[in-house]
């Protein structure tokens, strides 16, 4: 969908701007991306390639360029298989989860992951927050789970913020052995991807067990039977 939307929008622009500016943009973007890849590994580039480069520089791993490329291809192959299985699984569709997964897909496949790219994480964060709110309503321990989930979600958002990046750079500049803390975007991105992927896998079960949201809150608890005792009084 991401690639298709880009192609369609580009084709629709041709009658208005011509085809030369589009080719010029593609050429400039390719050149800019190549230059960005030369700027270094994490914390600048926090994709799996950038993280491997950071660990390689500090002798945590010892891999040749070819071996790093093979690890990257294997890693992305696993991610692609997960997305394929998620789309192939017969389930009740939830457009919010599909939208969140689509917003994360360009990032998990990209060999370049910078701070500016984290804007594409926002839809997934909002979707997970909404799912946490739904768990709070229908799950027996919903309040506890939702409270912990929101703390984790707020922590993830904080780790992706620019002030946190400045703080981590300051810490590492004074304590170089803590270089590994400069990979928050990598950690949060793939943790969030796994979270959204897991939600898509269990969505059919969730849709079968959650109550009717059109009912008043008191009737939701009575009909769902998951909070307190089921009321025997007709509502």
Average pLDDT, stretch 127-148? Answer: 76
**How many CB atoms within 10 Å of residue 126?**
15
- Label residue 84 by pLDDT band (50, 70, 90): confident
Distance from C-alpha of 47 to C-alpha of 72, rounded to nearest angstrom = 10
Report the largest interatomic distance among the alpha carbons of the chain, rounded to a whole angstrom: 72
| pLDDT score of 96 more than 70 | yes
* Whether residue 43 has a cis bond before it, omega within 30° of 0: yes
160: CB partners within 8 A, 6+ apart: 118, 121, 184, 185, 188
pLDDT at residue 233, rounded to an integer? 44
pLDDT at residue 128, rounded to an integer? 86
Do residues 47 and 110 make contact, with C-beta atoms less than 8 angstroms apart?
Answer: yes
Instruction: Look up residue 227 and give its DSSP letter.
Output: S
Token readout for 57 is 């520089």
CA proximity to 192, closest of 132, 116, 112, 111? 132
Average pLDDT, stretch 64-80? Answer: 91
* Least confident among 115-119, 126-130, 208-212: 208-212
- Label residue 72 by pLDDT band (50, 70, 90): very high
Distance from C-alpha of 205 to C-alpha of 199, rounded to nearest angstrom = 10
pLDDT at residue 231, rounded to an integer? 41
pLDDT at residue 25, rounded to an integer? 78
Token readout for 189 is 């991105």
Mean of pLDDT over the chain: 78
Beta-strand ranges (E) seen in 71-210 are none
pLDDT digits (tens, 9 = 90+) for 179-205: 888 888 999 999 889 888 887 776 645
pTM higher than 0.85: no
* Least confident among 126-130, 172-176, 213-217: 213-217
Higher pLDDT, 99 or 3: 99
* Least confident among 41-45, 148-152, 220-224: 220-224
Instruction: Look up residue 231 and give its DSSP letter.
Output: P
Do residues 95 and 85 make contact, with C-beta atoms less than 8 angstroms apart?
Answer: no
CA dist list (Å): 183 to 89, 122, 167: 32, 18, 13
Distance from C-alpha of 109 to C-alpha of 215, rounded to nearest angstrom = 42
* Least confident among 32-41, 124-133, 213-222: 213-222
pLDDT digits (tens, 9 = 90+) for 4-49: 777 888 888 888 888 888 888 778 777 767 776 777 777 888 889 9
Distance from C-alpha of 129 to C-alpha of 145, rounded to nearest angstrom = 12
Sign of the dihedral defined by the CA atoms of residues 167, 172, 177, 182, in that order: positive
| pLDDT score of 87 more than 70 | yes
CA dist list (Å): 208 to 7, 96, 211, 224: 37, 17, 8, 11
């Amino acid at each position: 969908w991401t690639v298709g939307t880009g192609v369609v929008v580009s084709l629709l622009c041709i009658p208005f701007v011509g085809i030369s500016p589009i080719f010029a943009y593609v050429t400039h973007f390719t050149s800019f991306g190549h230059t960005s890849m030369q700027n270094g590994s994490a914390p600048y580039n926090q994709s799996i390639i950038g993280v491997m480069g950071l660990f390689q520089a500090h002798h945590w791993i010892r891999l040749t360029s070819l071996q790093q490329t093979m690890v990257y291809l294997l890693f992305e192959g696993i991610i692609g298989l997960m997305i394929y299985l998620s789309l192939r699984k017969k389930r009740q569709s939830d457009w919010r989860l599909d939208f969140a997964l689509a917003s994360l897909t360009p990032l998990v496949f990209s060999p370049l992951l910078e701070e500016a790219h984290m804007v594409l994480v926002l839809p997934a964060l909002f979707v997970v927050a909404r799912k946490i709110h739904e768990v709070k309503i229908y799950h027996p321990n919903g309040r506890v789970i939702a409270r912990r989930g929101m703390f984790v979600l707020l922590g993830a958002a904080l780790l992706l913020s620019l002030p946190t990046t400045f703080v981590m750079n300051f810490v590492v500049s004074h304590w170089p052995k803590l270089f590994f803390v400069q990979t928050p975007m990598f950690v949060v991105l793939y943790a969030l991807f796994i979270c959204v992927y897991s939600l898509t896998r269990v969505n059919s079960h969730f849709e079968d067990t959650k109550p009717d949201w059109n009912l008043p809150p008191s009737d939701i608890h009575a009909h769902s039977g998951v909070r307190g005792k089921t009321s025997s009084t007709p509502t």
